[in-house]
Amino acid sequence: MEDPAQAFLLDVLKHRSASPCPDTQPYVTLSFAQSLDAKIAGAHGRQLILSGKESMIMTHWLRTMHDAILVGIGTALNDDPQLNVRYLPHPPETPYNLPRPIILDTDLRLSPTCKLLQNYQNGKGRRPWVICAASDDATPKPKGTSASTTTAETTSTGHHQYHPSEDIDKLLRKRSLEEAGARIIQVPTSQRRNVQGHADGTASRHLSIPEILTVLRDLGVRSLMVEGGAQIIRSFLAEPVVDVVIITVAPVLVGKDGTGYESPVVSLPAEGASPSQRRFVQKATRVFGKDAVVVLEAVTGGQSV
Ligand SMILES: NC(=O)C1=CN([C@@H]2O[C@H](COP(=O)(O)OP(=O)(O)OC[C@H]3O[C@@H](n4cnc5c(N)ncnc54)[C@H](OP(=O)(O)O)[C@@H]3O)[C@@H](O)[C@H]2O)C=CC1
Ligand SMILES: Nc1nc(O)c(N)c(N[C@@H]2O[C@H](COP(=O)(O)O)[C@@H](O)[C@H]2O)n1
């Protein structure tokens, strides 16, 4: 017999089984848990278990329904997640689909001893893919985010140059991650001033989401579940790439110091919004234990995408 959460998700995602995945990018599901005041973590990014048991099981069913799960390096370093499906009931005759973990990690800051790599080494998880900036990427880094020992210098023409030891540091980190089992995938970066801009007005240097999706589709990923954290949620919502958003709303308030994601998109037709902008409308809502799970689907100009 189907679990209620499994049945609910199969129903909200049934349009995917009816039509083949596009060639250009995977189906993208953005899913996370938030408080009533739209916080996904505590002060300074402290991990919070917002989901109750029932909605956490729903999240693990959702994981089985995707080829891959993506998180940002902030989440990988802060939470050391496993991204597996361990809360599901007794193993069935056919093993559950275990999604591939993918980490967006511009400068390869991931720890080679993280749980995702340990699980892979112990045969308990799929090989993690770590997506970083292409090695010939000359985009300047924002202040204070360099993971290497070297600083960028600005030339008289305004271009930034890197000391060779920065490349060596990154190469060494690449090698130790590969030795631990990670597959490293390089993509170009893009600059976004408004979405992840720094307080000092400089633009952030981030991996390009459309490029990442193209690469993943080329590598055979047909469905991608994006779990967060805050910056990743913002970046995915800022691009017209998310098909379905599934939010677990926990009946708690975290307060103003909590970590929020401040969505750059709106559901309601906003004054001045471009008609081609992707908006999200409610498709289904279900209570699991103490939590409400709200499913939104993308629409462009009034049509489901
Ligand atoms: N409640 C929930 O469901 C969830 C909560 N969380 C919480 O979220 C918090 C972490 O969030 P946060 O600190 O924002 O970190 P994220 O996990 O969002 O990672 C952000 C980092 O990813 C890297 N990155 C690379 N490319 C991009 C891109 N295109 N857009 C955005 N980031 C990119 C950047 O680091 P770099 O430049 O070094 O590559 C950036 O700093 C944790 O507290 C965690 O517990 C996380 C997931 C779900
Ligand atoms: N669905 C959900 N509810 C919460 O309350 C959460 N804190 C999260 N966090 C996400 O799940 C990751 C942890 O996964 P594992 O338990 O290690 O498998 C965490 O890193 C966030 O991505 N999710």
Q: What is the pLDDT of residue 217?
A: 98
Find the mean pLDDT for residues 53-64. 98
**Residue whose CA lies nearest to ligand 2 atom number 10:** 227
| pLDDT higher than threshold 80 for residue 122 | yes
The answer to whether the complex's ipTM is over 0.95 is yes
Quote the tokens at residue 15.
């349009």
Q: What is the pLDDT of residue 277?
A: 65
In the block, residue with structure tokens 């970046």: 235
Contact yes or no for 266/273 (Cβ under 8 A): yes
194-229 residue pLDDT tens: 444 444 444 567 899 999 999 999 999 999 999 999
242-299 residue pLDDT tens: 999 999 999 999 999 999 998 878 777 665 566 666 889 999 999 999 999 999 999 8
Instruction: Indicate which ligand has the atom closest to the C-alpha of 239.
Output: 1
Contact yes or no for 16/256 (Cβ under 8 A): no
Q: Can you tell me the distance from the alpha carbon of 133 to that of 104, in angstroms, rounded to the nearest whole number?
A: 9
Q: How far is the centre of ligand 1, averaged over its atoms, from the C-alpha of 158 (Å)?
A: 29
Q: What is the pLDDT of residue 158?
A: 42
Q: How far is the centre of ligand 2, averaged over its atoms, from the C-alpha of 76 (Å)?
A: 10
Q: What is the pLDDT of residue 193?
A: 45
Residue 301 pLDDT level (bands cut at 50, 70, 90): low
Contacts of 266 (CB under 8 A, 6+ apart): 273, 279
Contacts of 198 (CB under 8 A, 6+ apart): 142, 143, 204
Residue 110 pLDDT level (bands cut at 50, 70, 90): very high
Find the mean pLDDT for residues 67-92. 95
Q: Domains in the chain and their CATH numbers? A: 4-300 (3.40.430.10)
In the block, residue with structure tokens 């691009």: 239
Q: Can you tell me the distance from the alpha carbon of 130 to that of 112, in angstroms, rounded to the nearest whole number?
A: 11
Q: Across all residues in the chain, what is the average pLDDT?
A: 86
150-205 residue pLDDT tens: 334 444 444 445 556 768 999 999 999 999 999 999 998 876 544 444 444 445 67
What is the pTM assigned to this prediction? 0.89
Does the C-beta of 50 come closer than 6 Å to ligand 2?
yes
Does the C-beta of 204 come closer than 6 Å to ligand 2?
no
Q: Can you tell me the distance from the alpha carbon of 245 to that of 32, in angstroms, rounded to the nearest whole number?
A: 9
Among 32, 54, 61, 87, say which to mutate for ligand 2: greatest number of ligand atoms within 8 Å of CB: 32
4-49 residue pLDDT tens: 999 999 999 999 988 889 999 999 999 999 999 999 999 999 999 9
First to last CA, the chain: 32
| CA-closest candidate to residue 67, choices 182, 225, 211 | 225
Instruction: Indicate which ligand has the atom closest to the C-alpha of 75.
Output: 1
Q: What is the pLDDT of residue 265?
A: 80
Among 40, 146, 232, 294, say which to mutate for ligand 1: greatest number of ligand atoms within 8 Å of CB: 232
Does the C-beta of 297 come closer than 6 Å to ligand 2?
no
Q: Can you tell me the distance from the alpha carbon of 206 to that of 61, in angstroms, rounded to the nearest whole number?
A: 30
Q: Can you tell me the distance from the alpha carbon of 201 to that of 281, in angstroms, rounded to the nearest whole number?
A: 33
- What's the Cα-to-Cα distance from 254 to each of 39, 229, 251, rounded to whole Å? 6, 16, 10
What is the DSSP code string of 193-235?
A: STTT--TTSPPEEEE-HHHHHHHHHHTT--EEEEEE-HHHHHH
